[in-house]
Structure formats: C-alpha cells, structure tokens
C-alpha cells in the first residue's frame, strides 16, 4: 500500500475519484468525553446554564460532518445522504460516549465525515462545559465500521 495524496514530485494532491462507481457507503465512528461528576450531572440533567448541551452537540456533529471537506484539505466535497449521532451516558465513568453514523451514495468513502461528526460533537461538549470543568478529556475517536466501495465492509475488532 502506498499513500495516494502525493504527486510524482512529492507534493500534496487530491486523488481523482472520477472513474470510480457510485456505491452506497456508510461509516460509523465513536469517541468519548470524560468529565467531572458535577459536570456529568449537569449534562445529563440539562441544568447547565448554557442550555441543553447534548442538543447543541447533536447539531454541531451534523454540521461538522457537512463541513468536513472545508476542514480536511484532501477530502472531497461529497453529497451526504444522512447523519445521526447518539450519546450514551456512562455514569460509572462520568463519560459521554458519542456514536456517529453517516451515509452517502457516491464515489468515495464517508469515514472522515463520521470521524469529524464525533470530534465536533465532543469539542462542542467541551466548549460548553469548559467554564466549570477544564479537566475534561476527549479520547478514543475511531472508525468502528465502514461499508461500501471496492474495499467492502470493515468492522473494527472489539467494536
């Protein structure tokens, strides 16, 4: 395997996907944000003075997926057919586990959009809560599943 984002001079290039077939594509990404017990309670109960943290993070994640090609230089601007985020509340660890599912019908994958959705949602939670908790940690952002294209179906081990 070689990196494909470099031309013969060693400079960056955007890979051409023009000859590829359109296929149904889907990607799932996950990540976690860990916070203090007090901050976790505010997020769960919706009592943060800035409002409903998870609703704002939901919208931010969707917007992040839609803006991926503006943020990641070699990502193609693709037509997204769906974005959904889920927040699992983990009271044992004062953590919010974030899952994004993103889909398209197109010539290139949607993994970066799913990863950006999770990252943007986590950063939004951090931003809204940083005034009360500067020790939050965003971790384990990863692709857990991908479907479509010639590489087929990928499922991360232990996902």
The CATH code of domain 33-155 reads 3.30.70.640
Domain residue limits, the chain:
33-155
pLDDT one-digit tens code per residue, 106-123? 888 899 999 999 999 999
pLDDT digits (tens, 9 = 90+) for 33-43: 999 999 999 99
Q: Between the CA of residue 28 and those of 25, 54, 60, 93, 118, what are the distances in Å? A: 11, 19, 17, 23, 9
- Known catalytic residue at 127: yes
pTM over 0.85: yes
> Which residue of the set 21, 52, 90, 127 is catalytic?
127
């Amino acid at each position: 395997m070689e990196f494909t984002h470099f031309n013969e001079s060693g400079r960056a290039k955007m890979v051409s996907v023009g000859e590829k077939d359109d296929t149904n594509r889907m990607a799932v990404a996950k990540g976690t944000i860990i916070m203090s017990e007090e901050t976790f309670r505010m997020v769960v109960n919706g009592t943060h003075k800035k409002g409903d943290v998870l609703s704002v993070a939901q919208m931010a994640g969707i917007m992040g997926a839609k803006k991926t090609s503006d943020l990641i230089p070699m990502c193609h601007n693709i037509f997204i057919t769906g974005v959904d985020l889920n927040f699992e509340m983990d009271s044992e660890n004062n953590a919010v586990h974030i899952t994004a599912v993103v889909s398209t019908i197109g010539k290139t994958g949607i993994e970066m959009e799913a990863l950006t959705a999770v990252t943007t949602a986590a950063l939004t939670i951090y931003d809204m809560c940083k005034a009360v908790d500067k020790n939050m940690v965003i971790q384990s952002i990863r692709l857990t599943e991908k479907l479509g294209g010639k590489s087929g179906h990928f499922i991360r081990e232990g996902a």
